[in-house]
Amino acid sequence: MVQSGSSYILFGEEREDLMAVWEGVRNLSPDQGLEAVKYQLLDCNGDGKPELLLGQDNRITNLFTIRDGQLHPVFIGFYRNAWYYLGNGRFLNQGSGGTGITILGEYRLDSDGNLVCESYYFTHWDPAMEKEEVYWNTVGVPDRARSKKLAMNPAQFQELQKKRKDKVERLSWQSLARYGQGGVILSLTQSGEGGEPLLVVIPRETLEDVHLLTLQAVDVSDSGQVTWQVEKDESLGKLEADTRYHFSMALEGTARVTALSYYDREGYRRKILQISGEDGRLVVQEK
């Protein structure tokens, strides 16, 4: 759809998964659209198998998992029904249905790939009283009969929305335009709730003579070029294609970093890996 610059309708009017992507790239060229659409493979429910996330500007447009050996869509996110990642398999849903309703939901993904609602707020305009009411439930639908009315005014609800949005995690997105390029997909995950970040390595082809390195900066030139010295070298041997690996990362600061070196079909590569202090994403430089 993106490559052809076509509307999702050409693929079927019921393709809401494509519609969610299309609404963000419809005014872009195919090349710009492929650059704007991002993806990440991330184990969101801790079952050892990655989910597939698609998104734009850190907003998730599609989440897919595998259920009974088949691709299963978990949710679809639009601008007015947006989804974000909160970490540890939890998601934030913010949406609006016009002047009458605004929703704020928190969900987790269980081991079977199902969304479980933990908390769901929504507003309702009462025309008789001419005021906005706030309701809460754990069923995930704006049904007042199944919800509790809260003593919360619109300003308090807006503040709650802001606090929840501040907890959104920045994902280690990769551009769809670069899918299949290079020998390896690199991203971040956590060792457990509140645990240290782990480097996720998924080779697209078999990698030979792989080494996980800890590098220490020993000199910086006037132009900003860093000279690195190997402080620790762990030989990993061969990494097989389409296999998921987890490795610990060094987090001591900018003077000490983790690096991954290997041989792919094009020769030797060394990638220096750091976690951005600005937004927590994985920054990869090839040196």
| 238 or 280, greater pLDDT | 238
Which one, of 126, 136, 124, lies nearest residue 100 by Cα? Answer: 124
| Cα(54)–Cα(81) distance, integer angstroms | 15
* CA gap 191, 178 in Å, rounded: 27
Q: What is the pLDDT of residue 192?
A: 54
Q: pLDDT-derived band of residue 251, with 50, 70 and 90 as boundaries?
A: low
> pLDDT, tens digit, for every residue of 108-124?
999 889 999 999 999 99
- pLDDT digit string, tens, across residues 138-179: 999 999 999 999 999 989 999 999 999 999 998 878 888 877
Please report, as a single letter, which amino acid is at residue 60.
Answer: I
**Does the pLDDT of residue 4 top 60, yes or no?**
yes
Mean pLDDT is highest, among 96-100, 158-162, 186-190, 280-284, for 158-162
End-to-end CA separation in angstroms for the chain: 35
Q: How far is CA 104 from CA 137, 142, 189, in A?
A: 11, 10, 25
d(CA 119, CA 168): 16
Residue 94 has pLDDT above 90, yes or no: yes
Label residue 204 by pLDDT band (50, 70, 90): confident
- What percent of the chain lies above the pLDDT cut of 90? 48
* Average predicted confidence (pLDDT) for the chain: 88
Q: Look-up: residue for tokens 């509140």?
A: 194
Q: Which domains does the chain have, with CATH numbers?
A: 8-165 (no CATH), 182-286 (2.60.40)
What pTM did the predictor assign? 0.68
**Is the per-residue pLDDT at 65 higher than 80?**
yes
* 55 pLDDT above the threshold of 60: yes
Q: Which of the pair, 168 or 276, is modelled with greater confidence?
A: 168
Q: Which residue has the higher pLDDT, 285 or 281?
A: 285
Q: What pLDDT is recorded for position 146?
A: 97
